[in-house]
Amino acid sequence: MDNRKLFRSEFRLLSGEHVDLESNVLKLNNTLLKSLPPVTIDLKGVTMVDLSHNTIGEIHCDFGIFPDVEEMNLSSNIIETIPPSIWKMKKLRDLSLSGNRIRTIPPEMGQLLELKNLTLGENQI
């Protein structure tokens, strides 16, 4: 089975929403997700991930499955810490974490050499 179809079906079970990966965009915003489970498939080619406006507090997903992501939106959730696996996203240029419960910015943020925009407003920093 195609990895993208497998991933789409896994998240359809979680969110009840259709996930369109044809445009290299994974949009699971406003889907009532509470956590990101571990996913072991590789999603090469996905360049944008939108997980905003959910109630995600725990992230167990290894962001290394998104080697080509340039933009990630995790805003308006209840995330308290920036997940360490995010440092594997070497092409990440735009990261939105606004509207969460983040208290500190880890020094590993410096590993994201391509990062141009980091949005952290409305956190507890």
Q: What's the half-sphere exposure (Cβ side, CA atoms, 13 Å) at 44? A: 1
Mean pLDDT of the chain: 83
Q: Per-domain residue ranges for the chain?
A: 3-119
- Model confidence at 16: pLDDT above 80: no
pTM for the structure as a whole: 0.81
The CATH architecture to which 3-119 belongs is Alpha-Beta Horseshoe (3.80)
Can you give the length of the chain in residues? 125
- Model confidence at 94: pLDDT above 70: yes
Q: Are strands 71-73 and 117-119 parallel, antiparallel or unpaired?
A: unpaired
- Model confidence at 106: pLDDT above 70: yes
pLDDT of residue 11: 52
Residue 48 DSSP SS3: strand
What's the pLDDT tens digit per position in 28-69?
Answer: 899 888 988 777 666 788 899 999 999 999 888 888 888 999
